[in-house]
Structure 1
Amino acid sequence: MARLCAALAAPVLVAVLTGAPALAHGAPTTPLSRSAGCQPDGKWAKTAACKAVVETSGKVDWDNLRLANVNGRDRQKVPDGKLCSAGLSGFRGLDLPRADWPTTSFASGSQVTFTYKGTIPHQGTFRWYLTKNGYDPTKPLRWADLDDAPFLTAKDPALKGGNYTMTGRLPAGRTGRHLMYTVWQNSSTPDTYYSCADVVLTGGAPAPASTSASAKASPTATATAAAAPVTEPSASEPAVADLPRVERVSNSKHVPLPLVFSAAAALAFAAAALLFVLRRRRV
């Protein structure tokens, strides 16, 4: 009985000692998300934007913004204009369209190590999206404002030092104010978590065209950036289709067909000549 009571009391004791809900789970901290930055002790709690969040929806339960049983149907389950709150009324202040949300700065096209603070470990896949050029923070965020594909996907990164860490390369060619949208689809629970983080992208070196950014793979985690666009060959490096036929087969192990036919003809001629000689001897 004593063991049972201790087991039931443990989650409550953890919540009391840490000041976090027993069933809370996490949010991005690099870049700092709206929910993490606007929590009562958050870095941005005293800003006008965070004060407006509290006035709109009350105290933010920063690491517990989640929906159950989404199963990858994010665009069907989370309505336009409510992406940052996932449509939950208790987080509706995070959807406020305004130009003074605090931001984190990155160089466009740079490789970045992202961190996602975790309060309870889970397995699952992180998907990181970026807004398209022309994004306006003073208008409600829509799915159409985001790229169709994530620029970074990370499956089952380990929770170390209280953080999930994953590395990827930001899309090149984007500058100014943007929004980074993170979807964390759990595989160990039926929940999916959503986060908005405001960023400013500055001019930087373009991403390499020949390779895609990726984190070092491990048995427990993989992170992959969106594939870079395919580049056309330069004028000094002709495409394979433009090369003469003889060059394209010169390194091949196969014998060119003209030589095969010539050898066959010679063999047939020799056989005929031998047969002719044998018949003459019999005569």
Structure 2
Amino acid sequence: MRADCHDRARRVRRVSWPLRVLTLLSAALLCLLSWSGTASAHGSVVDPASRNYGCWDRWGDDFQNPDMAQEDPMCWQAWQDNPNAMWNWNGLYRNGVGGNHQAAVPNGQLCSGGRTEGGRYNSLDAVGPWKTTPVADNFTVQLHDQASHGADYFKVYVTRQGFDPTTEAMGWDDLQLVAETGRYAPSQNYAINVNTSGYSGRHVVYTIWQASHMDQAYYLCSDVDFG
């Protein structure tokens, strides 16, 4: 989104002076409206950070920095594939699933929600060394819901011991359900307590958030390290 705004600014330089001020104002207003619309909608897991939220949080102010390619290569490929996956870190959902998540989201596409939103989030399915958040056996999934949709339920999974997300595409049979909740009243922040044992090393925490305002399901991958 910010890149699009920069492109509009460059095009203004080729406009004749009498139109330049009006064009600049129009471009600025369009960018402002686009950003405010994104920032006010939906939500994601912020701790342990979902893949696209983490990339936005770490690099949103410096997303064109070439150092990212070495320091954070999975985020680098995501930014190169589609920056809007990060600007819209809160929009990874599918409508009308009816609770049949495994039918809607194929194996190998879990982190993109089955290539939802026209493939915007496809880069999140990429296999490799995503940055991890350290967690203990008992941890809390924190989800930020900017629009206060509420939840019919949350389901939290952890990849089975022995699965390596740096070399293997994730499928449903790689997941073990570790927490399932009931309804949550509309709020902007939710906490899901997770109790586990027997996990060590790198894993993916997979959170399904079934929103309450309509049949809208969010599919959120967070990379963690149990140490």
Calculate the TM-score normalised by the size of structure 1: 0.59
State how far apart, in whole Å, the 2-side matches of 1:129 and 1:116 are: 15
Instruction: State whether structure 2 residue 194 is matched by structure 1 residue 168.
Output: yes
- Offset at residue 57 of structure 1 (A): 3.0
CA distance in 2, matches of 1:44, 1:177: 22
Runs of 4+ aligned residues of structure 1 deviating over 3 Å after TM superposition are 15-20
Query: Which of the pair has the greater relative contact order for Cα pairs under 8 Å at 6+ separation?
Result: 2
Structure 1 residue matching 2:142: 3-state secondary structure: strand
Alignment of 1:44-193 (within 5 A): 46=68, 47-60=72-85, 61-88=88-115, 89-98=119-128, 100-108=129-137, 110=138, 112-124=139-151, 125-137=153-165, 138-147=167-176, 150-158=177-185, 162-169=188-195, 171-193=196-218
CA RMSD in angstroms comes to 2.3
**Deviation for aligned residue 1:159:** 5.3
Which runs of 5 or more residues in structure 2 are unaligned?
1-28, 61-67
Residues 183 and 194 of structure 1 are in contact (CA less than 8 Å); yes or no, is this contact kept in structure 2?
yes
Between the aligned partners of 1:199 and 1:117, the Cα distance in structure 2 is: 18
Aligned equivalents of 1:101 and 1:20: distance in 2?
28
The answer to whether the Cα contact below 8 Å between 2:97 and 2:104 also exists between their aligned partners in 1 is yes
Shift of 1:188: 2.1
CA contact (8 A) 1:78 1:87 kept: yes
Q: Does 1:24 align with 2:41?
A: yes
Is the Cα contact below 8 Å between 1:23 and 1:64 reproduced in 2?
no
| Offset of residue 192 of structure 1 | 0.5
Scaled by the length of structure 2, the TM-score of the pair is: 0.72
User: 2-side partners of 1:201 and 1:128: how far apart?
Assistant: 16
